[in-house]
Structure 1
Amino acid sequence: MSETDLKAHAEKLRGLHSGPMLVLPNAWDAASAVIVAEAGFPVVATASAAISAMLGHPDGEGAPWQEMFAAAGRIARAVPVPVTVDAEAGYGLAPGELVDRLLEIGAAGCNLEDTDHRASGLADADAHAEWLAEVRAAATERGVPLVVNARVDAFLPASGIPEPDRVAETVRRGRLYLEAGADCVYPIGVRERRDLATLVAELPGPVNGNTGDRLDLAALRELGVARVSYGPRFYRAALAGLKSAVEELR
């Protein structure tokens, strides 16, 4: 993909955060990405958990980044729409190298989470914000407005954040990340409507949500969520369908 086309894809992806709500049924390989694009979705998002599982590795940066990026690159080449890549926590790459690798595979955007997979907890918020600022600066230097979706993992049990403090900590981190140049904040794991409503109100930028038992698409739209992603949900549903089909053959 030419730099001009990649820049256009990034600008289109950024514009789609202004409404109506951007829905992203995540893909894990070229075939699933084509299905998403041919269904009319304007963007394809990858799911790192699904890709790592497909490659035979555990989630949480358990797969070599080279394999993850190669898979994401095949997705980007398979579809004509912008692709945003779940780059986990950046795989320990320096900001400039991370941006170069993303642009090489044709990514218009990326998810970057604040879990430190080497320390098994959340990264220091200020240090992570500085790292995000360097990612933004590197993308600007290369002339492509890469769309950064900053995932905040405070609601995940592994974060170690007590439940009563998760909303406040997510707001604190999300504001830091937006100030650092992130385009969207992704508070993964939020299940309660009241919590998500507070986050949408308190964060001065677009918010990425997930559907759940208490939060369907209509509820997310009503709350003002800018984008919705599904992670490995469709990958797991596909495997469940395969399991059921092959068991019927026995």
Structure 2
Amino acid sequence: MRRPSLDAARLGALAPVLTVEVLEEATSTNAVAGDRARAGAPEGTVVVAEHQTAGRGRLDRTWQAPPRSSLTFSLVLRPTVPAVEWPWLPLLTGHVVARALRGAGYAAGVKWPNDVLIDDRKVAGILVERVETPAGPAAVVGVGLNVSLTAEELPVPSATSLAIEAGAEPDRTAVLALLLQALVEAYDAWQAGGAEARDHLAASYAAGCVTVGRDVRVELPGGDRLLGRATGVDRQGRLTVTGAAGETAVGAGDVVHVRSVT
């Protein structure tokens, strides 16, 4: 049975803050949104694909899903905060998506740095990319959320979908509107609130991160591993791990995987 399409008219109600472009198919919404940004698209431009044929995640991992079974979208932002704060954008996005899903009744949490989980199974991934444009650098915030995937359609056994968790298929248009509104609200507060707001984000993220407090194995490039207890997330968004050699802070760009150890 053909899954329902997104309701473009309902998404139009998000204007003038957001302009949502719904594509029937795209290789990667991040790639399309990046092109839009380079062509001068303003902050708040959103590209959504009903079917993404070459979605990308961290470390160039790829994935696909059946048409209209997921929410795959990218949001163009033009942050004015100092460049040193930009690495917080992926963490902010994962944190906000998890919080919005919790508000909708799902037991969601964020695994450092930005995977969204429900009961330790991945339901959403985040990819944020910096794009150089004639008007200055922009950030393309990409989100892929499993909505109506069945157990047989999941890419890996450790994944899940909103439909599996709720026992019913949610309204994708309503979920997309919820996430976009939550992201814009949190982003605006992060930008406008200065150092205090960014400190609050760091504390709020650490408190809601399901990785903190667990024993973990951090897999590093080159095959090295770091074993220890994840004790927190520092002001730079790095995961702090206490092991045999003491406390070590690792950034998202420094790791291949972070696995919980039982």
Confirm or deny a common fold (TM above 0.5). Answer: no
How does the TM-score come out when normalised to structure 1?
0.26
Q: Which has the higher contact order (CA 8 A, sep 6+)?
A: 1
Greater percentage in strand? 2
